[in-house]
Amino acid sequence: MNFIDFLKDPIMAIAEWLGNLLSTWGVSDSWSTFILYFLGAAVLGTLALLLTLIFIWAERKIIGRLQDRFGPNRVGPWGIFQSVADMVKIFIKEHIIPDGVDPVPYHLAPVIVVASVLMVLAIVPLSSTLAGSDLNVAVLFLLAVGGLGEIGIIMAGWGSNNKYALLSAFRASAQMISYEIPMAIVLLITVLLSGSMSMSDIVRAQEVPFIILLPLGALIFFIASIAENGRAPFDLAEAESELVAGFNVEYSGLKFGMFYVADFLRAFISAVIFATIFLGGWRGPGAETIPALGIIYLVIKSLFVWFLGVWIRGSLPRYRIDQMMMINWKFLTPLAILLLVLVMLTGKLVDNAGSFIQVVTMLVLNFILLAFAVWVLRRREKREKIAEIGSRSRPVARPDNILKNNMMEG
């Protein structure tokens, strides 16, 4: 095997070499598969956790710039080692365990939360050859793992023996359960379009990326995944002004760090999922023949989606809890169900037409539905006067108020 071939698909080449090595040592096939998967999972998990250091730095830097600040700029060039310094600080901090905690849930919760985030990586096809597991129910697995994260959060809230933490855990899990529904329905549409629940089949079905077929579905999925991650404008689980700082108030040192890491990692991994489902994953020019390129394409697409999320996080103030629930149950969920039914019907109608006609029909359908949704929202806005707290000249900081004022001025 020459060097160029190695570069084309380095990870599979290493895996093959290790497999051969194990079989010459006389390890049976099933054990060597087990060892290879175990090593792969360990490497992927560790790499993802280390990458979080860079993501934390980048996010702080970007949000700093968005808010007209410098962001971290002291440690290293452009403050790039700030997260390393923070990590060292978190490692050497005292471990404070408050009185009256429920020990097992309290100590287990950070592990479960981080694990539930990392487990998602198992089903993402990183390139045409490299995937942790080509599970035939990957879409369901994605939702199921989200449920495990909820359990972790409830355990943290309960175990802390703190009423603010418990309230926040209730909020967070209610939010996650609610927003799973439009997410699941949109995932169902993509399963419908690709005819498969496996992630690699979904990627392979995207001759035309699903974001072109389903722009509205992608929008719903994106909003739902922001809410699922509990990031601004849906970060009311850690509303500092009312709930101190969320379900992780009572955690200190490394355990707090685990929640922090899970938070930032989840933002990137949900971007990876979005890129896989809607932007074609590893697909790109030459990715079929040179699998190493696929990883690069996937990372670039994910970084773009991740940046959009950070942009939103840096720009919008948070919603109130009733507004958050209203957005989900009265807007996103009905819209997603409507989209599912319409895609089903029109998909069957244009089943025999050419692929160009199919794409155009789907696109038109999505935009009609989007226009309808916006029309309904506008009518509702006119009909219902929102009671504003504060004076007319200084209205309450709500996302839609800011958007409206900017539009009027601009």
Residues that bind other proteins (CB under 8 A): 28, 30-31, 33-34, 102, 104-105, 134-137, 140-141, 143-148, 150-151, 154-155, 158, 166, 170, 173, 177, 180, 195-198, 201
List CB contacts of 107: < 8 A, sequence separation 6 or more: 159, 255
CB burial of 116-147 (b: ≥16 within 10 Å; e: otherwise) equals bbbbbbbbbbbbbbbbbbebeebbebbeebbe
What is the spatial distance between Cα 396 and Cα 390, in angstroms, rounded to a whole number? Answer: 6
What is the spatial distance between Cα 61 and Cα 28, in angstroms, rounded to a whole number? Answer: 50
In the complex, what is the shortest distance from the CB of residue 258 to other proteins, in angstroms, rounded to a whole number?
Answer: 19
Nearest to other proteins of 158, 278 (CB atom): 158
Nearest to other proteins of 144, 349 (CB atom): 144
The structure tokens 């209203």 sit at 326
Q: Label residue 234 exposed, middle or buried (CB < 10 Å: 0-12, 13-18, 19+).
A: buried
In the complex, what is the shortest distance from the CB of residue 362 to other proteins, in angstroms, rounded to a whole number?
Answer: 22
| Count of CA atoms in the C-beta half-sphere (13 A) of 76 | 10
What is the spatial distance between Cα 92 and Cα 94, in angstroms, rounded to a whole number? Answer: 7
In the complex, what is the shortest distance from the CB of residue 51 to other proteins, in angstroms, rounded to a whole number?
Answer: 27
In the complex, what is the shortest distance from the CB of residue 159 to other proteins, in angstroms, rounded to a whole number?
Answer: 9
The structure tokens 């809230």 sit at 157
In the complex, what is the shortest distance from the CB of residue 151 to other proteins, in angstroms, rounded to a whole number?
Answer: 6
Nearest to other proteins of 51, 145 (CB atom): 145
Nearest to other proteins of 82, 175 (CB atom): 175
Q: Taking a C-beta distance cutoff of 8 angstroms, is the pair 106, 156 a contact?
A: yes
Nearest to other proteins of 345, 396 (CB atom): 345
- Alpha helix segments (H runs only) across 230-332: 240-243, 253-278, 291-315, 321-326
Nearest to other proteins of 100, 285 (CB atom): 100
What is the spatial distance between Cα 79 and Cα 124, in angstroms, rounded to a whole number? Answer: 32
In the complex, what is the shortest distance from the CB of residue 370 to other proteins, in angstroms, rounded to a whole number?
Answer: 29
3-class DSSP state of 126: coil
Q: What own/partner pairs with CB < 8 Å and gap ≥ 24 does 350-357 have?
A: 355/207, 355/208
In the complex, what is the shortest distance from the CB of residue 221 to other proteins, in angstroms, rounded to a whole number?
Answer: 17
Nearest to other proteins of 33, 355 (CB atom): 33
Nearest to other proteins of 195, 390 (CB atom): 195
In the complex, what is the shortest distance from the CB of residue 254 to other proteins, in angstroms, rounded to a whole number?
Answer: 22
Q: Taking a C-beta distance cutoff of 8 angstroms, is the pair 213, 190 a contact?
A: no
274 forms beta bridges with none
In the complex, what is the shortest distance from the CB of residue 303 to other proteins, in angstroms, rounded to a whole number?
Answer: 29
List CB contacts of 329: < 8 A, sequence separation 6 or more: 178
What is the spatial distance between Cα 163 and Cα 173, in angstroms, rounded to a whole number? Answer: 15
Nearest to other proteins of 196, 361 (CB atom): 196
Nearest to other proteins of 97, 135 (CB atom): 135
Nearest to other proteins of 184, 363 (CB atom): 184
Helix (H) or strand (E) holding 75: none
In the complex, what is the shortest distance from the CB of residue 148 to other proteins, in angstroms, rounded to a whole number?
Answer: 7
3-class DSSP state of 131: strand
In the complex, what is the shortest distance from the CB of residue 116 to other proteins, in angstroms, rounded to a whole number?
Answer: 11
